[in-house]
Structure 1
Amino acid sequence: MPKTRLFPQRRPNLLVWCFAFICAIIAVIVIIAGIIVFVGYLAIRPKVPLLYVHAARLDDVVYDQAGLLSVRLIIIIKAENHNQKAHVSFYNTRLTLQYHGLSIAALVADPFEVKKNTSQELNYVVESSPIPLGTQEQRMTQQSLQKGVMPFFLKGNSRTRWRIGRSLGSVKFWLHIKCYMWLPMNSTVVYPSCSASSH
């Protein structure tokens, strides 16, 4: 008659119990931290800051028969912070002003801070050196001179950072500006409607 051998039942290793206990503690900490961040987010309701062209003006245009163009512009960039409970820092702000695809000026800004629920203006005076134009650009410039309006394009990026509370960490975004500006040659102030995005 076959015999059945009974082996003694092995008890779980103490190290396994310790590892399971530590994993449980870590899981609880992660869940609690997630709840705190979520509640803080709902309480503060952070909003992405804005950076856009508020106003622009073409003050002077010099164009000669050799195809050299010089311009003088005033451009006002506005930074807005609609957060009720957080200051916002702007840094790595660099914009490029173009005329028919030609880069004529770089607009940069030192890091600056916008207090909660306020705005700040960056005023740029752009005086370009003589810009040599190609044949196509010369033709388009002559057409613009006849119409009394000149086209400019401003594009660039800025980095933002602000804190959500004192212990919930910081939020960072890239802001992107793309702005087409048709500026009259009679020094009329224009308020462009520009596209802006963030990520």
Structure 2
Amino acid sequence: MPSKSKLSSSRSDRDGGRNVLVWCGAVICTIITLAIIITGIVTFIGYLVIHPRVPYVSVVYAHLDRMEIDHYQGALGMQVNIVIRANNGNHMAHAGFSHSNYTLSLDGKDIALLQEPDFEVSKNSSVDFTFVAQASPVPLDPEQADEVETGLQKDLITFNLKGGARVRWRVDRLGSFRFSSRLDCRLQFHASNLSYVPSSCTSKAK
């Protein structure tokens, strides 16, 4: 049988090996924890310094060029100019806009589809796009025709503009960002002189 001294030495070796492993594990965990903390601090400081902003789109101007109502056939013909501005408030990164699609409708009736090819906006800058929405006489159901007639009487014609674009930009070491910029607003015009009634129409990020 092994002597007590040999057993004691064997146990001591095993305990020593376990202690080394535990010590090494503790050191590794400490290093990982410190690395995570430092990365978080650097990212936070970088955010405060760079202060990335979500690019967005907004309607800055519109004008109802013409509007023709055929009361006998219940049809609408019109042309609307809409200026949509793509804004990039990041002073250290360009922003790319893609899949820009907007639908102009009247009381649930789609009238025109507005589209723009992919484009980029320079850092801390903006780009304006003028869309010309034209509609040949569009047939209206009785409810829609009544809505137009009511608008004429109130001197206020209301269109709905819905759509958006996909936005992407990269801010140095903070990485890449991607959002969907959604636009959903009402465009109102005076029926008497076809002028635009200014209102806030800015996209929301999703």
Q: Give TM-score, length-normalised by structure 1.
A: 0.83
Structure number with greater Rg is 2
Q: Retained in 2: the 8 A contact 1:177–1:194?
A: yes
Higher alpha-carbon deviation: 138-147 or 49-58: 138-147
CA RMSD of aligned residues (A): 2.7
Name the structure 2 match of 1:34. 40
From 115, 131, 134, give the equivalent of 2:122.
115
Change (3 A) 1:108 1:22: farther
Q: Retained in 2: the 8 A contact 1:83–1:117?
A: yes
1:51: Cα distance to partner?
0.9
Residues 1:179 and 2:182 are matched in the alignment: no
AA paired with 1:52? S
1:15: Cα distance to partner?
7.6
From 54, 59, 84, give the equivalent of 1:53.
59
Name the structure 2 match of 1:136. 143
Q: Retained in 1: the 8 A contact 2:59–2:202?
A: no
Residues 1:194 and 2:198 are matched in the alignment: no
Matched residue SS, 2:66: strand
Q: Give TM-score, length-normalised by structure 2.
A: 0.81
Higher relative contact order (CA 8 A, sep 6+): 1
Distance in 1 of aligned mates of 2:104 and 2:20: 68
Matched residue SS, 2:18: coil
Distance in 1 of aligned mates of 2:134 and 2:75: 14
1:137: Cα distance to partner?
0.8
**Unpaired segments of 5 or more residues in structure 2?**
none
**Unpaired segments of 5 or more residues in structure 1?**
none
Question: How far does the alpha carbon of each residue in 1:73-125 deviate from its partner, in whole angstroms, 9 at most, with x for none?
Answer: 00000111222222221222221111001111122221211112211111100
Change (3 A) 1:160 1:154: same
Q: Retained in 2: the 8 A contact 1:155–1:178?
A: yes
Q: Retained in 2: the 8 A contact 1:86–1:163?
A: yes
AA paired with 1:198? A
Question: How far does the alpha carbon of each residue in 1:17-62 deviate from its partner, in whole angstroms, 9 at most, with x for none?
Answer: 7766665554444333323222211111112222111111111112
Shift >3 Å, 4+ stretches: 4-7, 13-32
Distance in 2 of aligned mates of 1:13 and 1:110: 64
Change (3 A) 1:173 1:31: same
AA paired with 1:152? F
